[in-house]
Chains A and B, each alone.
Chain A
Amino acid sequence: MSMRRTFLTTRRIVQQLRHDPRTVALLMLVPSALVGLLAWSLQKSPGSFNAVGPKLLGVFPLIVMFLVTSVTTLRERSVGTLERLLTLPLTKAEFVDGYALAFGLVAVAQSALVSTLSYTWFGLAHHGVPWRISVVALCAGLLGTAFGLALSALAHSEFQAVQFMPAFILPQLLLCGLVVPVNELPTALRYVADVLPMTAAVHAIAPLQSSEYYLGQVAIMVAYIIAALAVGAATLRRTTK
């Protein structure tokens, strides 16, 4: 595997984004606007905002990068650039890692903006260490990208790819502790929730927790990222039946 070809792929994806300022604006501004809206709607109960706000910072990168990656990689399949690349000396891992790196960078930029705005303008109580939040946002973005790559193999159209959002993301959103605290879930669901990638993101980003617990949750995310990237690379086929 050549890091050079991975970086070239990352650079190419970033160039594609650069030519699409509207997408970049949406990627950067929508999560910030949503947290702002939440802050405004919970103006009379700052306690609730302080409980939910940080969790959203962990959830957004996962959802957004999942959507962006599934649609872009599906486009590579349908336009034929993926097939073309696989007839050239590019390995599947280089392709998948190039994507992970590109959208990982976007996730970090997105989270830097949304957390800065949250802790200054929106008045989110500041407990955590900023770099901790950035690490979680990076991991959550990578999770979204990795699962997007893996699941895009199952979709035959961009329309189907978008349908994976409710199928893959919404159950996690319900169980990750955003709606009901995980320890108040029925026992069976709690076991499920505890092993979901989004739950790890929400747990890791929660303020006031020990370093050991934080690192444990980050480790769960990293394990999922590696597994999903491996599945993503394995679903790329050089030959079609």
Chain B
Amino acid sequence: MTVNPPLPWALAAEDLRVVRHKNEILKSISFTVKRGELVGLLGPSGSGKSTLMRSILGVQAITGGTIKALGERAGAPSLRNRIGYMAQSPAVYFDLTIEENLVYFAGVLELSRSEVSRVIDQVELAALANRIVSSLSGGEQIRVSLAIALLGSPPVLMLDEPTVGLDPLLRRDLWRTFEGLADRGTTVVVSSHVLDGAARCGRILLLRNGELLFDTTPGELLSATGAATYDEAFIRLIEGAR
């Protein structure tokens, strides 16, 4: 009898279906993501991106199919300190300071204080560490939420629209951060309804109406559509499939 080598997949979905309130949100989604990949999960609003992310986290009940992360069933207790998650709206305590937020979440994850300073530096909020979150700008609040997801350097990061509402400079810096994380072996899934970061992704998953329309590389996305820019390719794909 041979022992199977561990699968290289960080994420694997097979025939994943989610029905909510009689609406089919995800229709038979299948894909695999290798460890260390930077994946852009793209699609218009309402295409099912957040539901797919929440299914991988295990917080969304699935109707059919399977979804696994790091070889385990999504939502397994052993995954709880191995997937960093950032929801679409910043899920942080608005009436605490940046540092108090991070100290609490780091404590829940049983991490040291030095990890708190590390992630605050990583999202470039060190100068504001003692500010109450509600007094920060929208972009700064998103970065606080991102910092919490980065605590403990989890092997998988699920980031739901982390660059929305940020200025171009900050967007570029964040995408560089994501690239750096992926280069060092972190699997990073970033959802977005704009394609500014698409070129940096090794993989593009394009969702529309709960269907996986495209599973490709950024280069192929351009050549397949004959578009000059990613935004144009996006529009052609979404409209063409109508």
Contacts and interface: CB of A to CB of B under 8 A. Distances in A.
Nearest to A90: B108
B81 A79 contact: no
A8 B103 CA distance: 9
B91 A20 contact: no
Nearest to B63: A241
A239 B74 CA distance: 11
B148 interface: yes
Contact of B20 (A8, A16, A20, A241): A241
Interface string A1-39: 000110011011001100110000000000000000000
Given A12-B100, A19-B132, A87 B57 contact: yes
Given A85-B108, A89-B108, A241-B61, A15 B85 contact: no
B50 to A, nearest CB: 11
B107 interface: yes
B81 A15 contact: no
Q: Among the interface residues B75, B108, B132, which one has the most CB atoms of the partner chain A within 10 A? A: B108
A87 B93 contact: no
A122 to B, nearest CB: 33
Interface string A51-87: 0000000000000000000000000000111011111
A241 B157 CA distance: 23
A89 B109 contact: yes
Contacts, number: 75
B225 interface: no
Contacts of B60: 239-240
A126 interface: no
A177 to B, nearest CB: 38
Interface in A193-241: 238-241
Contacts of A11: 104
A198 to B, nearest CB: 30
A88 interface: yes
A80 to B, nearest CB: 3
Nearest to B20: A241
B94 A79 contact: yes
B181 interface: no
Contacts of B93: 12, 16, 81
Contacts of B89: 79-80
B107 A5 contact: yes
Given A241-B20, A241-B61, A15 B105 contact: no
A7 to B, nearest CB: 9
Contact of A15 (B94, B96, B110): B96
A92 to B, nearest CB: 12
Contacts of A8: 104, 107-108
Nearest to B86: A84
Given A5-B108, A90-B108, A239-B61, A84 B95 contact: no
Contacts of B92: 79, 81
B204 to A, nearest CB: 25
28 contacts: A5-B108, A8-B108, A11-B104, A12-B100, A12-B104, A15-B100, A16-B96, A19-B95, A19-B97, A19-B132, A20-B95, A79-B94, A83-B91, A84-B87, A84-B91, A85-B108, A88-B80, A88-B81, A88-B105, A89-B77, A89-B108, A89-B109, A238-B75, A239-B58, A240-B54, A240-B60, A240-B61, A241-B20
